[in-house]
Structure 1
Amino acid sequence: MNTVELAPHRIAGLLAPAVDRVFRAGMLAGRDGGGAELSQRYGGPAASGFLVDLRTRLAAPGGTVDAPGFAAITRYADPVVARRTVDKQVAHGMLHRGPDGALSATERGAAFLAELYQVHAEVTEELWAGHDERVSRLVAVLGRLLSYALVLADTDTDGDRGGSAFAALAPPHEPDGTPAGVLLLNRLGTLRHHRADAHAAAWAAAGHTASSIAALPTGPERLAIELETDRRAAGPYSVLSVDERLTMLADLAALPG
């Protein structure tokens, strides 16, 4: 593979499905490996669902997700349904909603998230056993990517960070002693939100809405939007060398799940 093939926009497109696969494998392992039972102890998905989605910010002491950030994270959901779901989780005592719509974890919600981090530690250790070097390498490279993505977001004069899913959840909460598997899982999840923002910007520039892009069939128009997504998502990958981009792709491909 030559350097043209590994240009930042090209690697952004190649990495997206690999990132999705590994992240989904980790989250599925968490659900099946104790997460579902944990959720039931706290009232079930109706009580804890958004806490899982927002964990990388709400697990942090004093962490909040503001209303524009939440709207970006849930851009494909019916806003009425999303609001009612939040209402239920507030009623369960898991989330607090401020007068401005900002969300934070209650004491009970924070306890749930602490246990969830432990579940994810246990299942990722098992899922990626024997791949310690690969996991460590991915954690390090993802840390660089996310740090640079935050710098780019701060210097982006054309975008609005206030309505960014990535900005709402980055950097992920990583208390001292967080196991490598949890670091990998949450950094992958945060990187997916960076691409989600790029995708939203691409389809909005093409005149679409969240509902119309969801209904758009495979074809030249969707391909053009995906290519534009790659271009908009490419920025952080410029911090990596060509060899590092290829190694990241190979490491993700080699992880089970």
Structure 2
Amino acid sequence: MSDSTVAGRGALGRPTRRAETADQVELPPHRFAGLVAPAVDRAFVAGMLAGRDGGGAELSSRYGGPAATGFLVEFRTRLAVPGGTVDGPGFAAITRYRDPAACQRALDKQVAYGMLQRVPGGGCCATDRGLAFLGELFGVHAEVTEELWAGHDDRVERLVSALGRVLAYALLLTGDDEPGAFAAMAPPHEPDGTPPGVLLLNRLGTLRYHRADAHAAAWTAAGHTATSIAELPPGPERLAIEQETDRRAAGPYTVLTAEERLAVLADLAALPG
């Protein structure tokens, strides 16, 4: 075997063998991490906005509106899991850029509406009413993503497969006792029969938490807080933090060959929305 033939993937997405042709494509994981982030954001936001406009807002109003359903929508892929909870550290990581006291007041309201209940340690889980809402929300997302990405079935299937491998490897790389938004939200809830559009939407959303943790680690290492990084203007310091974010976010993408990384970018760019 030549030195240019290296591993691709085995069980659970571990790298095991990669073709020579992939190595000839100049797209290393850290560069890909920076390029794919806005593409992931665009596709995810398009799907969520379609859900809101395509029945999600009406559904939410039947259960009390955003004051009753906000965290259920945000944490849907974890709270929809039977017995699923978002623990206290996970809640803090997911909401790290928001005022903690305001988040606790919002959580109190959703508990009062009977949609969530608190669990020991500062976390929360869905009530039966909350689970009913989530079941209907997943149905809305199935309808709107089918319409939004109609005619792109092959592209959606490829992305679902690639991002599934990325998320599986990200889980392997994340320690069991490692707090963070990604650890709180991964893996996404994917019961049998979940439509491809919903799989893609929720895998995109879960992947965003991995980069969010990488970004937080980068600005923390640079001596910033959630408040100071939000106020940091463009310039060399912010650029350095973004580059460090790319480096920290790159690990899971090593499960894809360079050619596959290019294909993911192309497929995301071609999705409507």
The alignment's TM-score, normalised by the length of structure 1, stands at: 0.96
The aligned counterpart of 2:145 is 124
Task: Tell me the equivalent position of 1:46.
Answer: 67
Opposite residue 32 of structure 2, the aligned amino acid is I
List structure 1 segments (4+ residues) > 6 angstroms apart after TM superposition.
none
For structure 2, the 5+ residue unaligned runs are 1-21
Residue type matched to 1:161 in 2? E
Counterpart for residue 236 of structure 1: 252
What is the CA-CA distance between 1:57 and the residue it aligns to?
0.4
| Shift, 1:167, TM fit | 0.5
| Offset at residue 5 of structure 1 (A) | 3.8
Give structure 1 stretches of 5+ with no counterpart: none
Is 1:62 aligned with 2:78? no
Q: Which residue of 2 aligns with 1:250?
A: 266
Q: How does 1:33-182 map to 2 (within 5 A)?
A: 33-154=54-175, 161-162=178-179, 164-182=180-198
**Whole-Å separation in 1 of the counterparts to 2:24 and 2:262:** 10
> Is 2:41 aligned against 1:20?
yes
CA distance in 2, matches of 1:182, 1:218: 35
SS at match of 1:154: coil
Separation in 1 of the partners of 2:157 and 2:210? 21
* Matched letter for residue 223 of structure 1: L
CA deviation after TM superposition for structure 1 residue 2, in Å: 8.3
CA distance, structure 2, for counterparts of residue 57 and residue 184 of structure 1: 15
- Alpha-carbon deviations, 1:134-183, whole Å to 9, x = none? 0000000000000000000038xxxx522x10010100000110000000
Q: What is the letter of the counterpart of residue 195 of structure 1?
A: R
Report the TM-score, using the length of structure 2 for normalisation: 0.90
Q: What SS does the aligned partner of 1:161 have?
A: coil
Change beyond 3 A, Cα 1:176–1:251: same
Rg comparison, structure with higher value: 2
Q: CA deviation at 1:118?
A: 0.3
Q: Output the aligned Cα RMSD.
A: 1.3
